[in-house]
Amino acid sequence: MIVMGCLLLGWSGWSRAAEPVELDVRTEPTGGVRATATILFPVEPAIIQRLLTDYAHWPELFEGRMRVADLKFQDGVATTDLRIEHALLPGERQLVTESRMLPNGELVADLKGGDFTRYHRRWKLTSVNGGAQTRADFELVFEIDSVVSDWLVAFATRRDLESHFRIMREKALAQAQLQSGR
């Protein structure tokens, strides 16, 4: 995803992300990429949480090519097998993660298998402005089993996340309007 799919390159990723957003993407000294972001979504946290846990529809949150190959739920854990196509990498990459909600309300996903050597994603959602908005703290650390240099992956990841956050904002606003009956 990147998220949920991790490397989804679309040139339209140059467009602005959800406003306001703070995004930092850099290579890790030990290899791979780390991305952190703080996003203010203009909807309540429950809407953002629904988007993030609607695993079957994750591909709709990205501009790149992604599909859910398998999805299983057991004991509060969602095991998601994603297939991701990316312009930087030949063919299709597999990302299998286990996602769970922690007691503190954070949504975390960790690598279970696939073409990644490391993958950890964390979302922490906080209600702000009387519950009308959501502050989302995001962290993603990953490494792909690939010959593509980490700096290039970091560059693509920044653009993919900007696009991802913009799409999430649009979908969240649409859900909020449906929920309010407009």
Residues 66-119: pLDDT tens digits? 999 999 999 999 999 999 988 877 789 999 999 999 988 899 999 999 999 999
Q: What is the rounded distance in angstroms from the CA atom of residue 61 to the CA atom of residue 40?
A: 17
Q: Which CATH superfamily is domain 11-180 in?
A: START domain (3.30.530.20)
Computed over every residue of the chain, the mean pLDDT equals 87
Domain boundaries, the chain: 11-180
116, exposed or middle or buried, with CB in 10 Å at 0-12, 13-18, 19+? buried
Residues 130-173: pLDDT tens digits? 988 999 999 999 999 888 899 999 999 999 999 999 999 999 99
DSSP sequence for 33-72: EEEEEEEEESS-HHHHHHHHH-GGGGGGG-SSEEEEEEEE
Residues 14-24: pLDDT tens digits? 333 335 689 99
Question: Quick one: pLDDT band at residue 5, thresholds 50, 70, 90?
Answer: very low
- Collapsing DSSP states into helix, strand and coil, what is residue 158? helix
Q: What is the rounded distance in angstroms from the CA atom of residue 138 to the CA atom of residue 25?
A: 11
pLDDT at 78: 97
Residue 56 in this model has a pLDDT that exceeds 50: yes
**Residue 175 contacts residue 50 (beta carbons within 8 Å):** yes
Question: Quick one: pLDDT band at residue 182, thresholds 50, 70, 90?
Answer: low
